[in-house]
Amino acid sequence: MEQATPTLEELNQLVQMSGTINMEIFYWWCIALMMVIHAGFLSYEIGASRLKNVLTAGVKNILAFAFIVPTFFFFGWFIYNGFAGGFVLDMEAASAALPWSQSMGPNISDNATGIFWGAFALFAATTASIMSGALIERTRMSAFIILAVILGSVVWILGAAWSWHPTGWLTTQWGFHDVGAAGCVHMIAGFFTLGVVINVGARIGRFNADGSANSITGHSMPMSVIGLMLVIVGFFGFLGGCIIFNVGGQWTNIYGQPATLSGFAFNTLMGFAGGLIGAYLTTREPFWMMSGGLIGIISVAPGLDVYYPPLAYVIGMGVAASAPLVHKFLVKRQIDDAVGAFAVHGFAGFAGLTLSGIFLSGYPNMGEGVPPVNFLGQFGGAVVLGLLGFIPGYLISLAMKKMGVLRVPAHAEERGLDLTEVPAQAYPEWALTGASTTYVSTDSASATLVVAEVKTV
């Protein structure tokens, strides 16, 4: 019996179905790779912590993820869909993102909402992990989780609605262009973190009375370096989630313009390689070398779709070479960002957006009626996103500081956060290894604080 030849309509339906399935599969694996980012943050923050604090550094990363996923479901996705025009809620646009709407559940005819929500939820969790490293060894677990939810499920996604949405006002009115989320993810998280770090204060023993800085070294540089490499591996999932796989077979950037994974591959790898070299040249440190690779990718993220690859290499190298100097500037002002999160994410995002305003100026951003990419739009957008991150980060953490709930007590910090915040010990034998412990006492004669670093044997 001969099989009937499919009609053109049936063939089109098969193509449509195949494209839809392929789209879901693509973003599914993007999400899986983005989970590697969190394995990387877990590893490098544990490595950057002293032995008495390693479990706390890891646990707070996992807990932040666990709190951000449901809060992003209940109101984060709603903010993205409802506030593209600014601070005025567009309820019609946001209605499909309400937790009880048909799209926010297992609707078998909706092959897009859940998978896009999942990618954005992972972006949200990434912002919390960016903040996490800067605050190690002295921040209360509960305070960090509250700040993580505010950053991950409210602040960054509001910035994404403004700048990373096809109808976002920064895009449609200013010509803002940032396909790789250097602004709404990295820059907002970096500036939010800076505001919190200012209020949480420095770790005990980090600075002397004369303002000079003491080095507080993590227990495992190899673990930190491996962790940073895992973050970069996961970045390929992160950036994959920044490109739109259309069912018809055409790839576009987040704004709906034609783009290719090929262009993303060229410029991601070139930015990464340039960043490695740039940070290595100015520091010769493995930690900053690997951080430089991350800086390089972030700095070219605004123009991943259109940069000429050698230009991406130069931009990545230049910004990564400068970032450690930004970190040293903060240290001189007694700001204790334990892993250089602001320099890596906040500064790199700001520099990348500003440079893209020069090199991409005149590029058609959204088509007719929308301004092309321009310097004022990129620089102005960077300022807006920086303020959106810094102001709530500073004010909310200041309120927590005034209430006495932001930082652990000095005796708990001395004893180690693993015993007071988890409580458990990752290395019960650490006291026998010669690990260092900071002791603080008051000299009664001079009424000054005496800080000493001694070896426990």
Task: Quickly list DSSP for 246-294.
Answer: -TTS-EEETTS-B--HHHHHHHHHHHHHHHHHHHHHHH--HHHHHHHHH
Percent of the chain whose pLDDT exceeds 90: 76
User: Distance between CA 293 and CA 311 in Å, rounded?
Assistant: 15
Please tell me the predicted confidence (pLDDT) of residue 166.
85
**pLDDT value of residue 89:** 93
Give the number of other Cβ atoms within 10 Å of residue 333's Cβ: 8
**β-sheet bridge partners, residue 454:** 437
DSSP state of 308: -
At residue 433, does pLDDT exceed 80? no
**Each residue's pLDDT tens digit, 232-241:** 999 999 999 9
User: Cβ of 378: how many Cβ atoms within 10 Å?
Assistant: 29
Q: How far apart are the first and last CA of the chain?
A: 86
Q: What b-and-e string marks burial along 137-160, b requiring 16 or more CB atoms within 10 Å of the CB?
A: bbbbbebbbbbbbbbbbbbbbbbb
Euclidean distance between CA atoms 144 and 132, whole angstroms: 8
Flag whether pLDDT at 362 surpasses 50: yes
pTM assigned to the model: 0.90
Q: Which of 6-10, 252-256, 352-356, 419-423 has the highest mean pLDDT?
A: 352-356
| Mean pLDDT, residues 343-357 | 98
453 three-state secondary structure = strand
Q: Give the pLDDT of residue 454.
A: 40
Residue that the structure tokens 């297992």 belong to: 106
- Which pLDDT tens digit goes with each residue over 363-406? 988 777 889 999 999 999 999 999 999 999 999 999 999 999 99
pLDDT at 431: 53
DSSP letter at 89 equals -
**Contact assessment for residue 53 and residue 136, using Cβ atoms and an 8 Å cutoff:** yes
- Three-class SS state of 323: helix
**Which residue in this structure is represented by tokens 């018809």?**
248
DSSP state at residue 372: P
> Distance between CA 247 and CA 22 in Å, rounded?
8
CATH of segment(s) 16-410 = 1.10.3430.10
Q: What is the dihedral of CA 332, 336, 341, 347, to 10 degrees?
A: -30
Is the CB of residue 300 less than 8 Å from the CB of residue 242? Answer: no
pLDDT of residue 256: 85
| pLDDT value, residue 423 | 85
Kindly list the domain boundaries of the chain, sorted by start residue: 16-410
**Confidence category of residue 40, pLDDT binned at 50, 70, 90:** very high
Burial environment of residue 454 by CB neighbours within 10 A (0 to 12, 13 to 18, 19 or more): exposed
